[in-house]
Amino acid sequence: MERMIPVDRLARPEDHILVPLDKIRETRLEQGLTPFNAMPYEEDFLKARLHGICAGEFQAMEAAGRSLFDFPDAPWEFQLDMARQVWDESRHAEIYMKLLEYVGSYLGEFPESEVLWSCTQIDDPACRVAGINRGLEGLACDVFEQLIRMAQKMGDPVIERAVDYVLADEITHVRMGSRWMRKLTEGDPDRLKKAQAFQENIDNLFNFGGGRTSQEDAAQIKQRLGDKEVEVDATLTIAREARLLAGFTDEEIDRLIKGMSKSAAY
């Protein structure tokens, strides 16, 4: 079997669109829209946000499976962690499919981006877990924590509890990533630097035009969610508590907030 398979080999129904994030952004701008539809100021924000997460869960499941297959010489415990992650992500994918249905959407309503899969195109397990488990699943902690607070404001215990359940798993996945990034690069500072730089690229990609803040400093806007108009964070916040639980240091989180508050990527 082939290692490091390209994105077009992923099994998707024929009517699903799977393209690079830049392509989605460009097409939206050409149509006179904002670059991302999963932002709190957009009308179909909740559907779009849940859709992005659901597609991410599928790719996370597929990617953990490929990391298991692509690195047969990695420690057995690494492989066991990847296998466990496939199982976790498959449950998450099922949960988010149900949540999509719950808000009147379905998988395939919006385009799916290739971001997570792009992290599998590197032949080093330390970089993979740095990019996927620390970069993208760290981002998932931010997204999920914010979604839980929104669900609380909406008075929606279904979304609140479902997302909280998934967040608990993501925290363990980030910890797993931190552990393996360090263990696999022990005694090899250059390799560690490479893995950290790989993660940094992913973090920068989700700067969303700058202005990301801590939960306390987030500007508020009014948004209709479900049948209620509620005040929500204007941008994606950074979840300090969840990230601390996931093994990020205060210093790492401060640096992330500082970097994200500037318009760097776009």
For Fe ion, the binding residues (CB under 5 A) are: 57, 60, 89, 92, 137, 170, 173
* Least separation in angstroms between CB 110 and Fe ion: 18
Block residue for tokens 């976790």: 88
* Least separation in angstroms between CB 93 and Fe ion: 8
Between residues 134 and 173, which has the closer beta carbon with respect to Fe ion? 173
Block residue for tokens 């919006």: 110
Between residues 143 and 151, which has the closer beta carbon with respect to Fe ion? 143
CA dihedral 153, 101, 158, 44 (to 10 degrees): -10
CA atoms within 13 A on the CB side of 22: 4
* Least separation in angstroms between CB 172 and Fe ion: 8
* Least separation in angstroms between CB 166 and Fe ion: 6
CA atoms within 13 A on the CB side of 171: 17
* Least separation in angstroms between CB 184 and Fe ion: 19
Between residues 97 and 234, which has the closer beta carbon with respect to Fe ion? 97
H-helix or E-strand spanning residue 224: strand 220-225
Report the relative pairing of strands 18-19 and 220-225 from DSSP bridges. Answer: unpaired
Distances (CA, A) of 246 to 24, 66, 127, 142: 30, 23, 18, 11
Between residues 57 and 160, which has the closer beta carbon with respect to Fe ion? 57
Between residues 92 and 128, which has the closer beta carbon with respect to Fe ion? 92
